[in-house]
Amino acid sequence: MVLKVGNKAPDFTLEDQFGKKVKLSDFNGQWVVLYFYPKDNTAGCTTEACDFSDNIKTFEEINTIVLGVSPDSVASHHNFADKHNLKLTLLSDPEHKVLEKYGVWRKKSMYGREYYGVVRTTLLIDPDGRIAHLWEKVKVAGHVDEVLKKYTELT
């Protein structure tokens, strides 16, 4: 699937770091930051998660939920969130169903080796469940500020 601004964000249900089922459509009526990241406890992913978590009060003030999705297990997410005192919801997609549905599970290559992995991507979803903005191949530094700036421009 090719994601485009204006399209309805595909609904899904995944387990969070506590094993609780979370459905995207549960957040209809509020803004959602849905970000896809490769792996818990790696440098870039930890920085990104901590940046979102450090700004969680700002997101709450603008009635915006932050959801992070990776192929890591519920237990991995729980340990990751606990270790870094993360204040956001991390969703586990070990079978890559949502990652594939959103088109972020792709062939990558490093040092001449090809493999499948998550392409770091963020969506800003409006209260009607439509994709308001899309960032592909995200650079972690300054990304949270970009998301907040785009929210301000759109509201």
Q: How confident is the model at residue 1 (pLDDT cuts 50, 70, 90)?
A: low
**Amino acid letter for position 115:** Y
Residue 12 lies in a domain: no
Residue 122 lies in a domain: yes
> What percent of the residues of the chain are helix, what percent strand, and what percent coil, each to the nearest 5?
30, 30, 35
Distance CA 10, CA 51 (A): 26
Distance CA 7, CA 2 (A): 10
Residue 91 lies in a domain: yes
Distance CA 51, CA 59 (A): 12
Question: What pLDDT is attached to residue 2?
Answer: 74
Residue 48 lies in a domain: yes
- Domain membership of residue 29 as a residue range: 17-154
Domain count, the chain: 1
Catalytic residues: 45
CATH number, residue 61: 3.40.30.10
Residue 139 lies in a domain: yes
Q: Write out pLDDT tens, residues 138-149.
A: 999 999 999 999
Q: Which helix (H) or strand (E) holds 33?
A: strand 31-36
Q: Write out pLDDT tens, residues 11-41.
A: 999 999 999 999 999 999 999 999 999 999 9
Q: What's the pTM?
A: 0.95
Average pLDDT over residues 89-111: 94
Q: Write out pLDDT tens, residues 68-86.
A: 999 999 999 999 999 999 9
Q: Write out pLDDT tens, residues 102-122.
A: 999 999 887 888 889 999 999
Instruction: Map tokens 């970009």 to a residue.
Output: 146
